[in-house]
Amino acid sequence: MNIVSHGPTDGVFEIEIDRPEKKNALTETMYRDLTSALVTAEQDPQTRVVLIYGQPFCFTAGNDLQDFFDNPPTSDNAPVFVFLRAMASLTKPIVCAINGAAVGIGTTLCCHADLVYCGDTVKFQLPFARLGLVPEFASSYLIPRLAGHVKAFELLVLGEPFGAQTALDIGMINAFFDDEAYLTAAKQKAKQLAALPEEAVRATKKLIKDNIKKNVDTSMSVESRVFSERLQSPEAKEKLSQFLNR
Ligand code: COA
């Protein structure tokens, strides 16, 4: 099992990404397991908050590129797209604790979390265009909302890695801590959140998210279609092969 669920303890349900030998790259099976962990958390009356984290020095290298090459997601029901919708529509609050590589979806999922805490050696990266691909998870809508057009274009198109300070400056994360302290800090915040009046927290999340839901849903669905097309393109096939044959 590369997706491990813990709890809930004190109202916090933890989801750990655990595939260190491949830098926590996410396969179809892992997306299925992530979705079922989210569904379990959403339905469990004891769970008030979901906390997602990876290894101390690697959150995730993003989509498994071998998986993408062998088995590109072509329909709306592909496990990756089902997971994106499950996370974007979760009514319970989500806290993310991130350090090390947070590539592709490892960065874009921050835009769907409610609180995000990082270690100070976190390395976010959105290498979609470099790989011949396009943004996913409504990041073509959400990142420009945070950062403005030119910064979003830089992050989404030039695709260079960026650190915790940039992420904090654009409002993508709440705070960063020493590598040894970030997970404990995130767990504390998750516990604090779980102790608040549950219905008020969920109603507030809904009020905030309802304002942008239509645009997020449209963006995810258009991006998914273009992303699937791009995966079949000669540009993307060449870039994926380059990585896989390093
Ligand atoms: N898909 C599949 N396998 C991946 C992967 C990915 N996204 N990222 C890393 N791996 C694998 C490597 O192939 C390697 O496997 P091997 O030991 O069998 O050869 C192993 O994980 C370790 O990766 P490595 O590149 O040696 O680690 P690193 O610490 O030098 O670099 C990263 C870490 C994350 C910076 C680098 O692996 C990377 O850039 N990965 C691709 C990220 C990416 O483009 N993701 C897609 C976003 S849409």
pTM: 0.98
Please report how the helices 79-88 and 28-43 are oriented relative to each other, as an axis angle in degrees rounded to 10: 30
Identify the CATH number of the domain in which residue 171 sits.
3.90.226.10
Q: Coil, strand or helix: which one is 95?
A: strand
200, part of any domain:
no
- Residue 79 has a pLDDT of 96
61 alpha carbon to ligand 1 midpoint, in Å?
6
Write the DSSP string, 117-150.
Answer: EEETT-EEE--TGGGT----TTHHHHHHHHH-HH
Please choose, from the candidates 29, 185, 57, 197, the residue with its C-alpha nearest in 3D space to the C-alpha of residue 122.
Answer: 57
Which atom of ligand 1 is the closest one to the Cα of 244?
Answer: 13
Q: How many angstroms separate the CA atoms of 68 and 188, rounded?
A: 36
- Residue 74 has a pLDDT of 87
Angle ∠(84,227,91) on CA atoms, nearest 5 = 15
78, part of any domain:
yes
Q: Is 66 in the pocket of ligand 1 (CB under 6 A)?
A: yes
192, part of any domain:
no
Please report how the helices 198-231 and 79-88 are oriented relative to each other, as an axis angle in degrees rounded to 10: 150
Out of 19, 22, 109, 123, give the residue to mutate to test ligand 1, the one with the largest number of ligand atoms within 8 Å of its CB.
Answer: 22
- Residue 27 has a pLDDT of 97
Nearest CA to ligand 1 atom 35: 101
211, part of any domain:
no
Q: Which residues contact 143 (CB under 8 A, 6 or more apart)?
A: 108, 111, 126, 135, 152, 155, 156, 170, 172
Question: What's the total number of domains in the chain?
Answer: 1
Assess contact for 114 and 138: CB atoms under 8 A: no
What is the domain extent for residue 164?
3-181
219, part of any domain:
no
- Residue 76 has a pLDDT of 86
59, part of any domain:
yes
114, part of any domain:
yes
231, part of any domain:
no
Mean pLDDT by 10 residues, the chain (246 residues): 97 98 97 98 98 97 93 90 97 98 98 98 98 97 98 98 98 98 98 98 98 97 95 94 93
Both structure tokens of 152: 């979003």
- Residue 45 has a pLDDT of 98
Please choose, from the candidates 107, 88, 39, the residue with its C-alpha nearest in 3D space to the C-alpha of residue 210.
Answer: 88
